[in-house]
């Protein structure tokens, strides 16, 4: 079985692999319904989608009509100011066929200018707080990418009591001393305040560069099961982290299989050696 733990202070006991519904960006309803069977087979009980993941919210809607109680449901708002963000929230609820989501997140707040706009007067953060006050979402979070994200998330947590953060976590990125130090600082604050931490881009081998795109992920992922195992187990070795699955439905069973075989007492493989062997490269420089 896939390990579970409380998703921060929400109290929800989530599987440590959260289904990243960016995988549904270009999917059909038939593909989506087959994926539901995979998630249920592994006991995954947490879905993370977004308004900007193509038709993802609309495709997940029929699941919620039938199985709402089976999942902690999270989505994201990428609008930057209050009114468009509020309209995005209402639209997401309609597409997902729910009256309330469990977690509404500010999406991709990854640079200073965006942070100031979203968090300032008339910003999208005000829409999230109002949605929470009205019961349209139980909890709120913030997400982002890039080398500055740990600093921006720390600043956000000092401004608003977000219940979760989401950011990249992979071996090449952690070789950047500044990012590694920032991640540890953020992790310490999240532990102190019981804020859930979601890791993304963990299965990144390198940017696609000029290579053919053979997956729907926006980076070249690991393919070999043993390498996927190492990466998943490496994340799980940090007890505060949840792993958002990569945006490719065909990779999903391999990731969930790896997660289901995690053994805490087993030594974690040397990711430095793996980084060299696979010629791994950071997504952000």
Would you say residue 42 lies in a domain? yes
Q: What are phi and psi of 74, to 5 degrees?
A: -120, 140
Q: pLDDT at position 63, please?
A: 93
For residue 204, the cross-strand partners are: 221
Token pair 């995988």 is found at 23
Could you say which DSSP state residue 81 is in? B
Task: Please give the structure tokens belonging to residue 114.
Answer: 């965006």
- Mean per-residue pLDDT of the chain: 95
CA distances from 123 to 40, 78, 87, 119, 173 (A): 37, 11, 13, 5, 30
**Residues 144-178, buried b or exposed e (16+ Cβ, 10 A)?**
bbebbbbbbbbebbeeeebbbbbbbbbbbbbeeee
Would you say residue 183 lies in a domain? yes
Q: pLDDT at position 117, please?
A: 98
Tell me how crowded residue 121 is: count the other CB atoms within 10 A of its CB. 9
Q: pLDDT at position 199, please?
A: 98
Instruction: State which H helix or E strand residue 231 sits in.
Output: helix 225-236
Q: pLDDT at position 209, please?
A: 86
Would you say residue 36 lies in a domain? yes
Would you say residue 80 lies in a domain? yes
Could you say which DSSP state residue 123 is in? B
Would you say residue 284 lies in a domain? no
CB-neighbour burial class of residue 242 (10 A; exposed 0-12, middle 13-18, buried 19+)? buried
Beta strand 13-15 pairing with 4-6: antiparallel
Would you say residue 88 lies in a domain? yes
Give the whole-angstrom CA distance, residue 267 versus residue 231: 13
Query: By residue range, what is the domain housing residue 94?
Result: 4-277
pLDDT digits (tens, 9 = 90+) for 245-254: 999 999 999 9
Task: Please give the structure tokens belonging to residue 97.
Answer: 């066929």
Token pair 């087979």 is found at 41
Number of domains in the chain: 1
CATH of the domain at 141: 3.20.20.100
Would you say residue 59 lies in a domain? yes
From first to last of the 285 residues of the chain, give the pLDDT tens digit: 899 999 999 999 999 999 999 999 888 888 888 999 999 999 999 999 999 999 999 999 999 999 999 999 999 999 999 999 999 999 999 999 999 999 999 999 999 999 999 999 999 999 999 999 999 999 999 999 999 999 999 999 999 999 999 999 999 999 999 999 999 999 999 999 999 999 999 999 998 988 988 898 888 999 999 999 999 999 999 999 999 999 999 999 999 999 999 998 887 777 888 899 999 888 888
Would you say residue 282 lies in a domain? no
């Amino acid at each position: 079985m896939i390990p579970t733990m409380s998703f921060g202070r929400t109290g929800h006991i989530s599987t440590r692999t959260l289904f990243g519904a960016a995988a549904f960006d270009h999917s059909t309803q038939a593909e989506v319904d087959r994926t539901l069977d995979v998630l249920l087979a592994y006991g995954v009980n947490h879905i993370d989608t977004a308004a900007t993941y193509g038709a993802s919210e609309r495709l997940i809607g029929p699941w919620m009509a039938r199985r709402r109680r089976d999942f902690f449901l999270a989505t994201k708002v990428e609008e930057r100011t209050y009114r468009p963000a509020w309209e995005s929230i209402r639209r997401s609820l309609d597409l997902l066929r729910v009256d309330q989501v469990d977690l509404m997140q500010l999406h991709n707040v990854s640079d200073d200018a965006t942070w100031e706009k979203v968090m300032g007067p008339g910003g999208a953060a005000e829409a999230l707080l109002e949605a929470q006050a009205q019961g349209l979402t139980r909890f709120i979070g913030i997400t982002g990418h890039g080398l500055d994200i740990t600093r921006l998330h720390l600043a956000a947590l000092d401004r608003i009591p977000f219940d979760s953060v989401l950011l990249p976590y992979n071996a090449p990125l952690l070789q950047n001393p500044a990012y590694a130090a920032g991640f540890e600082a953020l992790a310490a604050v999240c532990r102190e305040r019981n804020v859930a931490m979601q890791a993304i881009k963990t299965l990144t081998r390198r940017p696609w560069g000029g290579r053919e795109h053979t997956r729907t992920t926006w980076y070249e992922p690991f393919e070999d099961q043993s390498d996927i195992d190492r990466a998943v187990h490496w994340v799980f070795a940090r007890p505060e982290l949840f792993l958002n699955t990569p945006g490719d439905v065909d990779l999903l069973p391999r990731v969930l299989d790896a997660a289901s075989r995690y053994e805490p007492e087993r030594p974690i493989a040397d990711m430095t050696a793996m980084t060299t062997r696979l010629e791994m490269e950071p997504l952000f420089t």
